[in-house]
Structure 1
Amino acid sequence: MFIAAIARPHINATDEVLWDGKIGIFPFTETHYAVRRSENRPVGTATLRAITRVTRDILRDKLITEVLPAIRSKWPANGVKDIWIQQDNAKPHILINDHAFNEEAKKDGFNIRLVCQPASSPDMNILDLGLFSALQSIQFKSFPKDLNDLIKAVNDAYDTFEPKLLNYTWIQYQLCMIEVLKAKGGNNYKNPHIGKQRLDRLGMLPRQLEIPQELIDAARQFLSHGIINLNDLPQDD
């Protein structure tokens, strides 16, 4: 199991990648030492093993000791330091008000906060929307023989993943968010396509997608249904 962290890459008007948006991909492993001599290794030999059951404590430690330091070290010098980390709703994930995480997330002028992915909404996750499937297709070509080979293959796939493709994923994320608004918060929509590579070749690929005002108004009206205004309730004498 791995935990990955990515942000939107910085690509200027001349198609130059100023920052690739890659924070890191971190395996859940632990080091064991051989307690008995064998034909393959002497006593005390260090071996790497996968952590097969990731608990909330393990995940918290991974975030604090590896992910947050990687964000601080790789974040662009001119980047805004108010950062949201989105996580899905898997049980091992820490709570958004986790004290130890929040204390560490405020170091060095950063204001890093957690937010949870909307339930039953895989398209609202950048990793699931593009990165993981792309990494799998690259990694499967390497035929790793053991855990060390697997970790190297995943890291190599992550390192070679094109920042442009990552930027396409962020645009796709915006497209899906618009479809969610049209579906009134539901997920009964088809994943939209606009021909991002073609638009990019023509220099017409948008960075931000505009949301029609009528769609915003319709979403607000839908959200307002069922909301009780406390001022309209009868008051006790």
Structure 2
Amino acid sequence: MPKVMFLAVTAKPRAEYGFDGKVGMWPFTVVRKAKRSHAKTGTVAGETDIIESVTVTAEEYRHTMLKKNGVFCKLREKMWWFGKNAGTPEAGTTLYYQHDGARPHTAKANEAHWSRHGQKSGFSIDVVVQPAQSPDLNVNDLAFFSSLQSDTELVAKRNVFDLVAAVEKSWAEYPQERMEAVWRVLYASFKGIVTARGDNSYSHHTGSRAAHSASSRRGESHDRRFPQAEIDQATAVRDTLSQQLETGVEGVVSTSSAHEDTDDE
């Protein structure tokens, strides 16, 4: 089965702005002309288009982010209400783009590009990094990718062309109600983390994605409020940990290293 890396950018659906939560999907591929002819496949050297996957380097990622109809361009187009002159409550406020800590994402050479290109056309786009080892805080890793994959697995994929076409078809047909359900799962994780005061024992899948989706179809409202007492307790724990890190970094690192050595044994 062919393998291709995709960059999927999603956000919370906003029905009042006609936004379904899908910013864009970009395959990391390159199209070239065939170098050889093959009678069995009908490939003609110099004429038939061949599509191949490419390695996602810092340069390749930056190109996808900044090119025409790339990520920044689509953020401004699809989430127009963040524009300075949009006349909406969010107008002029910062739009945050979050990615994980993969090396192509966090390369120092790219940081200046994010900063410069984020402040254009009346928008303020800030690129931030997802907390390390926290897939439950990334809506794509948490629920969206598995949901989309359940669709594409039903489609035969003989080559890269078929795979890209299948993913793009599933992306185009992915309904807003399912995206709403995906984001409800994320909020369930947020609530679980706050309730557990940041401990890893939190309950992050409160209700299945199917249950959230059914609730969304029924038009049921989704309560995203947090009890103030839990917020205060979680904040106190965070502040205590921050103070410990500031005053005793060496001790914290040493403890972590010792624990890792023990695990290796």
TM-score scaled by length of structure 1: 0.83
Match 2:182 to one of 169, 175, 184: 169
1:212 and 1:95, CA in 2 relative to 1: closer, same or farther beyond 3 A? farther
Equivalent residue, structure 2, for 1:87: 99
Counting only pairs closer than 5 Å after superposition, residues 193-232 of structure 1 correspond to structure 2 as 193=207, 195-197=211-213, 199-200=215-216, 203-206=219-222, 208-225=223-240, 227=243
Aligned pair 1:10/2:23, yes or no?
Answer: no
How far has the Cα of 1:114 moved from its partner?
1.0
Counterpart AA for 2:145: F
Distance 2:214 2:159 in 1: 40
CA offsets 1:5-59 (integer angstroms, 9 cap, x no match): 11111135xxxx82212111100011233445554213364421111x2111111
Question: Which position in structure 2 is the counterpart of 1:192?
Answer: 206
Instruction: Call closer, same or farther: CA 1:99–1:156 in 2, change over 3 Å.
Output: same
RMSD: 2.5
Q: 1:49 and 2:52 equivalent? A: yes
> In the alignment, what sits opposite 1:29?
29
Q: 1:125-165: per-residue Cα shift (whole Å, max 9, x none)? A: 11112211111111111112111111110011111111111
Cα distance in 2 between the residues matched to 1:113 and 1:7: 14
Corresponding letter in the other structure for 2:13: P
Shift of 1:108: 0.8
SS of aligned partner of 2:198:
coil
**Structure 2 residue aligned with 1:63, among 57, 62, 65?**
65
* Percent identity of paired positions between Structure 1 and Structure 2: 28
CA distance in 2, matches of 1:201, 1:101: 37
Instruction: Considering fraction of residues, name the structure with more strand.
Output: 1
Query: Aligned pair in 2 of structure 1 residues 107, 212: CA closer, same or farther (>3 Å)?
Result: same
Cα separation, 1, equivalents of 2:37 and 2:212: 57
Select the residue among 122, 129, 146 that pairs with 2:135: 122
> Is it true that 1:109 corresponds to 2:122 in the alignment?
yes
Which structure 2 residue ranges, 5 or more long, are not aligned? Answer: 247-265
Equivalent residue letter for 1:11: A
SS at match of 1:210: coil
The more displaced of 217-226 and 90-99 is: 90-99
Q: Structure 1 unaligned runs (5+)?
A: 231-237
User: Structure 2 length as normaliser, TM-score?
Assistant: 0.75
